[in-house]
Amino acid sequence: MRLLLLAPPGAGKGTQAKRLSQYYGIEHISTGDMLRREVAEGTPLGLEAKKYLDRGDLVPDELIREMVSERVTEADPKGGFLLDGYPRNLAQAEEASALARDQGITINGAVYLDVSSEELLRRLMARAGTESRSDDNEETIRHRIEVFENQTRPLADYFRERGLLISVDGEQPVEKVTHDIIDSLAARSEAGSEAGGEVGGEVGGEVAIPSPAPDRPPTDGGSH
């Protein structure tokens, strides 16, 4: 199982990532955790990344690219991975597609946790009171939500157009959210095996994130 997890800050991304990676027995690759570890260890990457993390901005793509591709390459032959926090913008999504294509990796789905901005703000402010993350103060929280809206939310359309989006109501109880995701993935893999392959598709003999307008029926009410 190979999954991407797209979600705004405060949507329960980390929690769902742990639950899903446990359920499927796959590696949980969190770019946020990797970056925080680099910062804590004071590595050159950590020192560079810290100023972006503290402001709630995205760390430059080139700093993320190598970090992610190494982990994905390691995890892929061991049964898959769940990428938590990557891709985060369109450039990274294109990069992820190229990486998948080059390495013959099929993505089963891009899970999107849908939570309103008001609920995100409420949850993050509550969390800021109990945890001490350097990016959990009101100004940075608002900025992170804005960065998500501007840079990451458009990826929902990117993956929808490629037939990979699994959008789930993230305001439901934790267990129900996990359940909905697992159910959607099961339904998709059944549909995929009927069509003769995994969702993600074989494109010209290569497995890849498919291009837009895949040759299966639209799920959102038709094209006319």
Q: How far is CA 127 from the centre of its chain?
A: 21
Decide whether 86 or 192 has the Cβ nearer to ligand AMP: 86
| Residues recorded for the chain | 224
Q: Is the bond into 210 cis (omega within 30 degrees of 0)? A: no
Candidates 1, 17, 64, 111; binder of ligand AMP (CB under 6 A) is 64
What residues between 125 and 144 interact with ligand AMP by CB under 6 A? 135, 144
Decide whether 53 or 201 has the Cβ nearer to ligand AMP: 53
Torsion angles phi and psi, residue 214, rounded to 5 = -65, 160
User: Residues with catalytic annotation?
Assistant: 13, 88, 127, 133, 144
* Site for ligand AMP contains 2 (CB under 6 A): no
Torsion angles phi and psi, residue 212, rounded to 5 = -60, 165
- Amino acid at the residue 11: A
Yes or no: say if 141 and 8 are a contact pair by the CB < 8 Å rule. no
* Site for ligand AMP contains 108 (CB under 6 A): no
Q: How far is the CB of 96 from ligand AMP (least distance, A)?
A: 10
The token pair that represents 54 in the structure block: 């503290």
Stretches 49-57, 156-164, 166-174, 203-211: which one binds ligand AMP (CB under 6 A)? 49-57
Burial of 70 (0-12, 13-18, 19+ CB in 10 A): exposed
Per rule CB under 6 A, count of chain residues that contact ligand AMP:
17
| Positions that interact with ligand AMP (CB under 6 A) | 9, 31-32, 35, 52-53, 56-59, 64, 85-86, 88, 92, 135, 144
